[in-house]
Amino acid sequence: MPTQVLIASNNHHKADEIQTLLGSDYQCLTLSNFPDAPLVIEDANTFAGNAVKKALSLVNWLKTNNKEIEGWILADDSGLEVDALEGEPGVYSARYASNNDQNCSDAANNSKLLDKLEGIEPSRRTARFRCVIALAKIGEYAQPQIFNGICEGQISEAANGVNGFGYDPLFIPKNFNNSFGELDSEIKNLLSHRASALHQLKEWLTKN
């Protein structure tokens, strides 16, 4: 029977990506399977802080409410860091264009990023996607295992491609000429920040 992994997210794009990368030995669930789960305010100033907060909050809620589920909780926080913008949008990647700290549409966030980078030459548009995953055992309120993944690249001058989500149409990974929005998912899953962190996580799970 597949090991259950509850992803602390409602983002089906992210869930599909994680399921593909983990494979058939794991059954990925999302917060859509637990619609009464509380919303966690991601107010930490680091990706790791937000990931750990989400993981432990969900561990505590499942235990307190006697939810019948076994396995692991996977909480990630990830985003884009642009060197010319001193690391922006960083932990605010999903709500970069927001005026009220709520998540924004991908189009709005991409538009703001392009506006802030207007006039900056390609050589100074270096950036990276960063992913931090916190993996917690359901039923055990203990410090989660942490896995880090990074994908280096640069920001294009216009959005290209319709694959992926978030800043994918703007991000050109290192040694490529096309954005993640243009590349096949199979290629992205070999290169991405989330793929890197998940490969480490999967290797750890096989040993534990």
Please state, in angstroms and rounded to a whole number, the distance separating the CA atoms of residues 74 and 145.
10
Cis peptide bond prior to 89, omega within 30° of 0: yes
Contacts of 169 (CB under 8 A, 6+ apart): 110, 159, 160, 161, 162, 179, 180, 181, 182
Please state, in angstroms and rounded to a whole number, the distance separating the CA atoms of residues 134 and 73.
8
Amino acid at 203: E
Cα angle: 191, vertex 165, 57; to 5 degrees: 90
Please state, in angstroms and rounded to a whole number, the distance separating the CA atoms of residues 121 and 137.
46
Q: Where are the alpha helices (DSSP H) in the chain?
A: 12-22, 47-64, 106-116, 185-191, 193-207
Please confirm, yes or no, whether 16 is among the known catalytic residues.
no
Of the chain, the end-to-end C-alpha distance in Å amounts to 17
The one catalytic residue among 77, 106, 115, 168: 77
Catalytic residues: 77
